[in-house]
């Protein structure tokens, strides 16, 4: 079987380090391992419109931003096909056929959509397009016959929905044209839900607790409110600086930036005992974050100076994507024994 990787981002704003550790870093790893036949990454602008239909300008503006963020993080347009969802109308057609395979009550049970409806205050006036976006997302995934979908944890219900549609389609039309996808999420809980700089919730624009990939400043960060004097014993659990260190610290970080400690365990032990100040651990984290984010920021600035290049990547990629999605659509209609 072929290995086909696919994932997308809604273009609604710049990406932050929560996106990075929750999903982007994984994509880059997969790309660099090179164990795949095709890889697609796209701007899910049609999906973004389902709750931004009153502000298409903002979605449009962010298409390029999201693609630049992905390239800046290390995805290589020579290895990855980048495309714009709305420019592949085959996806919309597939969505329409898949709608018949999903019940309204099944859509109501999608926990991520449920949560989003609550957050957006849609109550009873849920746009049908928003409510059904998991079906459209199933089309995105299956049109490319993706078997591996690197995503954040919140996307697990979408991949599950796609799997159900694939099974249903293949069984009703007695075919094997569609491929069941598997989600790939990060290994640790801290990566799957990187806390915001305030320490108490997932990083999110609306909570104003983000570090963006393009940020120069790195932080003012929540530590342990009872750790007032350097001599005081401090808490490591729930301390944002240590949570981030768990996620970002590398084997050589200590020898580079804090050689008086051997490893993170030793640093944590000293903090717990007392005698280690917040400034010191913050400076250490800052050095580590800068090392990881600086090349991303620089690459991004280079891309910003050259939007023509990014547009061209998207143009070529979208052509390839249309071709592939068109082939699948043909197979789908043939399997349905319908007009081809
Ligand atoms: N729902 C994803 C997000 O919120 C975007 C997305 C759309 C996607 N279609 C997809 C992700 C297909 C993976 C596969 O960012």
Give distance in angstroms: CA of 191 to centre of ligand 1. 18
Q: Taking Cα atoms as reference points, which of 3, 36, 45, 79 lies closest to residue 320?
A: 79
Instruction: Indicate whether residue 7 lines ligand 1 (CB < 6 A).
Output: yes
Q: Which two tokens stand for residue 258?
A: 């804090």
What is the DSSP track for 154-200? GGHHHHHHHHHHHHHHHHHTT---S---EEE--SSHHHHT-B-TTSS
Average pLDDT over residues 181-189: 96
> What is the per-residue pLDDT for 220?
75
Atom of ligand 1 nearest to the CA of 10: 15
pTM strictly above 0.75: yes
Give distance in angstroms: CA of 254 to centre of ligand 1. 37
How many percent of the chain have pLDDT more than 90?
A: 88
Q: Give 117-174 pLDDT, tens digit per residue.
A: 998 899 889 999 999 999 999 999 999 999 999 999 999 999 999 999 999 999 999 9
Instruction: Indicate whether residue 137 lines ligand 1 (CB < 6 A).
Output: yes
> What is the per-residue pLDDT for 33?
97
Residue of the nearest CA to atom 13 in ligand 1? 7
Q: Give 218-277 pLDDT, tens digit per residue.
A: 667 888 888 889 999 999 999 999 999 999 999 999 999 999 999 999 999 999 999 999
Q: φ and ψ at 182, to 5 degrees?
A: -120, 135
* Average pLDDT along the chain: 95
Neighbouring-strand partners of residue 39: 5
With bands split at pLDDT 50, 70 and 90, how would you rate the model's confidence at 207?
Answer: confident
> What is the per-residue pLDDT for 243?
95
Give distance in angstroms: CA of 7 to centre of ligand 1. 6
What is the DSSP track for 79-127? TSEEEEGGG-THHHHHHHHHGGGS-HHHHHT-HHHHHHHHHTT-TT---
Neighbouring-strand partners of residue 202: 195
> What is the per-residue pLDDT for 218?
67
pLDDT higher than threshold 70 for residue 306 = yes
Instruction: Indicate whether residue 140 lines ligand 1 (CB < 6 A).
Output: yes
Pick from 44, 113, 325 the residue to mutate for probing ligand 1's pocket: most ligand atoms within 8 Å of its CB: 44
Residue of the nearest CA to atom 11 in ligand 1? 8
pLDDT higher than threshold 80 for residue 114 = yes
Residue of the nearest CA to atom 2 in ligand 1? 9
162-171: long-range pairs with CB below 8 Å, 24+? 162/134, 162/137, 162/138, 164/102, 164/106, 165/98, 165/101, 165/102, 165/135, 165/138, 166/138, 166/142, 168/101, 169/98, 169/101, 169/332, 169/335
Q: Give 2-50 pLDDT, tens digit per residue.
A: 999 999 999 999 999 999 999 999 999 999 999 999 999 999 999 999 9
- Chain-centre distance of CA 321, in angstroms? 20
Q: Taking Cα atoms as reference points, which of 339, 340, 321 lies closest to residue 144?
A: 321
Average pLDDT over residues 60-85: 97
Residues in the chain: 340
Instruction: Indicate whether residue 149 lines ligand 1 (CB < 6 A).
Output: yes
> What is the per-residue pLDDT for 103?
98
Cβ atoms 73, 112 nearer than 8 A: no
Pick from 12, 13, 18, 137 the residue to mutate for probing ligand 1's pocket: most ligand atoms within 8 Å of its CB: 137
Q: Which two tokens stand for residue 71?
A: 């390239």
> What is the per-residue pLDDT for 124?
80
Strand intervals (E) in the chain = 4-9, 38-43, 81-84, 148-150, 182-184
Residue of the nearest CA to atom 14 in ligand 1? 7
d(C-alpha 211, C-alpha 165), whole Å? 37
Average pLDDT over residues 280-285: 94
Give distance in angstroms: CA of 42 to centre of ligand 1. 9
Average pLDDT over residues 180-192: 95
Atom of ligand 1 nearest to the CA of 44: 7
């Amino acid at each position: 079987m072929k290995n086909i990787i696919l994932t997308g981002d809604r273009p609604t704003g710049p990406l932050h380090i929560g996106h990075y550790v929750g999903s982007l870093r994984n994509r880059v790893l997969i790309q660099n391992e090179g164990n795949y036949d095709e890889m697609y990454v796209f701007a899910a602008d049609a999906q973004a419109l389902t709750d931004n239909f009153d502000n298409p300008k903002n979605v449009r503006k962010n298409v390029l931003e999201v693609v630049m963020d992905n390239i800046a993080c290390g995805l290589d347009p020579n290895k990855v096909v980048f495309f714009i969802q709305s420019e592949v109308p085959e996806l919309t057609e597939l969505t329409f056929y898949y709608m018949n395979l999903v019940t309204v009550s099944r859509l109501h049970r999608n926990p991520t959509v449920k949560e989003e409806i609550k957050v957006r205050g849609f109550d009873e006036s849920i746009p049908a397009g928003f409510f059904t976006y998991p079906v459209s997302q199933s089309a995105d995934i299956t049109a490319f016959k993706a078997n591996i979908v690197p995503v954040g944890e919140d996307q697990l219900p979408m991949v599950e929905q796609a799997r159900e549609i694939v099974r249903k389609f293949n069984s009703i039309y007695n075919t094997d044209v569609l491929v069941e996808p598997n989600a790939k999420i990060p290994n640790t809980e801290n990566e799957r839900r990187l806390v915001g700089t305030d320490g108490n919730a997932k990083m999110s624009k609306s909570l104003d607790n983000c570090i963006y990939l393009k940020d120069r400043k790195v932080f003012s960060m929540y530590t342990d409110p009872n750790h007032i004097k350097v001599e005081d014993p401090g808490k490591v659990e729930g301390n944002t600086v240590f949570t981030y260190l768990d996620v970002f610290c590398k084997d050589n970080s200590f020898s580079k930036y804090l050689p008086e400690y051997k490893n993170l365990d030793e640093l944590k032990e000293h903090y717990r005992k007392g005698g280690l100040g917040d400034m010191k651990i913050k400076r250490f984290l800052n050095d580590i974050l800068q090392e990881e984010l600086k090349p991303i920021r620089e690459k991004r600035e280079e891309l910003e100076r050259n939007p023509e290049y990014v547009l061209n990547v998207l143009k070529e990629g979208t052509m390839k994507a249309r071709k592939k999605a068109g082939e699948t659509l043909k197979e789908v209609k043939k399997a349905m024994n319908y007009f081809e």
